[in-house]
C-alpha cells in the first residue's frame, strides 16, 4: 500500500516515539503518524502531544488500559478494512517494548508490519547528563539492564553479576527499587564512591537530573520522590577522569586524515 508523500505504508507500523519531547520522534515516525488511520499508543509513557500529528478522523487507542489480545484485535480489525495502524511505543521499541509477541502474532495472522526506530530514553538521559557513555580508558561498553521485578531476569544476568564489569550501566524499570539496586551494584565492581545519576523524565518539560554516588543512590531517590519514569546511570564516565580520544588526536592517522607524526601503533 502506498501512502501520501511517497512513504510505503505497511498495515502495522511499530514506531518509536522517542523519550518524551514531541520533536524527538524521527521524521519517518512523524510521517507515519500523519498517515495513520489508527494509532495505538503506550499511554503510560508516550507524550500525548504526539497525537496532534494524527489525521482528524484517526482512531486513537491507549494501550495502557488494554491487554495483548485487545491490541491485536484492533490491529486485525483495521487490517480487514484495509486501514493502516501505527503502534506507538516509547523510546525505541526494541527495548522493553513487548513488540516481539505482537510481531509474531501478526505474522501468524498474515498481517505485514515494519519497525521505525526511535530515540531511546537512555540516549535522552545521556543528553540530559551531557555524558559520553564510552569514554576512552574509563568504559567502552554500556550495559542496559534492569533490576528484577515482576518480570524475572535470567540468572546469568542478575544485577550483581553484570556489575562485576564496572562498565557504564543504565538501569531501566528500576527506580522504584533503589535499595536493592544499590546493594546489588555494591556486590560488583562499583564502590560507594562510584558516580551515578537518576534521570527522571529525560527530555520532558519536567525533566530532573539528580547526581550523586552509588552509596547515596537509595537516599537520593527517596529525597526526590522518584519511583518511576526514571533511569539510573552508573559508572566512572560520570566522573572527571578520562583520556582524550585517539580519533581526534592530531598525531593519529585515519582513513580520512593524515596525522602529524608517523606513530601508527595506537
Cβ partners under 8 Å of residue 34, min gap 6: 4, 53, 54, 55
By CB under 6 A, is residue 145 in contact with ligand SAH?
Answer: no
CB of 225: closest distance to ligand SAH in angstroms? 15
Which residue, 117 or 215, is less far from ligand SAH as judged by CB? 117
* Binding piece for ligand SAH, criterion CB under 6 A, among 93-101, 103-111, 152-160, 249-257: 93-101
For the segment 13-72, give every residue that binds ligand SAH (CB under 6 A): 19-20, 45
Please identify which residue in 10, 36, 50, 90 interacts with ligand SAH, judged by CB under 6 A. Answer: 90
Q: How far is CA 167 from the centre of its chain?
A: 18
C-alpha cell at 149: 521485578
Q: To 5 degrees, how large is the angle CA 157–CA 137–CA 128?
A: 70
What is the nearest approach in angstroms of ligand SAH to the Cβ of residue 61?
A: 18
- Contacts of 257 by beta carbon, 8 Å cutoff, 6+ apart: none
- For residue 16, the minimal CB distance to ligand SAH (Å) is 7
Residue nearest to ligand SAH according to CB distances in the complex? 91
Find all residues with CB under 8 Å of 221, minimum gap 6, and list them. Answer: 175, 178, 198, 210, 227, 230
47 to 25, 131, 140, 168, 223: CA distances (angstroms): 10, 24, 32, 28, 26
- Please count the residues of this chain forming the interface with ligand SAH, following the rule CB under 6 A: 25
Chain residues in the site for ligand SAH (CB under 6 A): 19-20, 45, 89-92, 95-97, 120-121, 124-125, 172-173, 199, 201-204, 228-231
Amino acid at each position: 500500500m502506498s501512502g501520501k508523500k511517497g512513504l510505503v505504508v505497511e498495515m502495522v507500523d511499530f514506531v518509536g516515539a522517542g523519550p518524551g519531547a514531541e520533536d524527538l520522534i524521527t521524521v519517518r515516525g512523524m510521517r507515519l503518524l500523519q498517515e495513520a488511520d489508527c494509532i495505538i499508543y503506550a499511554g503510560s509513557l508516550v507524550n500525548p502531544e504526539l497525537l496532534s500529528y494524527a489525521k482528524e478522523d484517526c482512531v486513537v487507542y491507549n494501550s495502557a488500559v488494554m491487554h495483548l489480545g485487545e491490541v491485536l484485535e484492533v490491529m486485525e480489525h483495521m487490517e480487514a478494512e484495509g486501514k493502516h495502524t501505527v503502534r506507538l511505543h516509547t523510546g525505541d521499541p526494541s527495548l522493553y517494548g513487548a513488540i516481539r509477541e505482537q510481531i509474531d502474532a501478526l505474522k501468524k495472522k498474515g498481517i505485514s508490519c515494519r519497525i521505525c526506530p526511535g530515540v531511546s530514553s537512555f540516549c535522552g538521559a545521556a543528553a540530559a547528563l551531557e555524558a559520553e557513555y564510552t569514554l576512552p580508558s574509563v568504559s567502552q561498553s554500556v550495559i542496559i539492564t534492569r533490576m528484577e521485578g515482576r518480570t524475572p531476569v535470567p540468572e546469568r544476568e542478575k544485577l550483581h553479576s553484570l556489575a562485576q564489569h564496572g562498565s557504564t550501566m543504565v538501569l531501566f524499570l528500576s527506580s522504584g527499587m533503589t535499595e536493592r539496586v544499590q546493594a546489588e551494584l555494591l556486590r560488583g565492581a562499583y564502590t560507594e564512591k562510584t558516580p551515578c545519576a537518576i534521570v527522571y523524565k529525560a527530555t520532558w518539560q519536567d525533566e530532573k537530573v539528580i547526581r550523586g554516588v552509588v552509596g547515596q543512590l537509595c537516599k537520593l531517590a527517596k529525597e526526590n520522590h522518584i519511583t518511576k519514569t526514571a533511569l539510573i546511570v552508573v559508572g566512572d564516565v560520570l566522573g572527571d577522569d578520562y583520556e582524550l580520544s585517539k580519533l581526534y588526536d592530531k598525531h593519529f592517522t585515519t582513513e580520512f586524515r593524515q596525522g602529524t607524526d608517523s606513530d601508527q601503533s595506537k
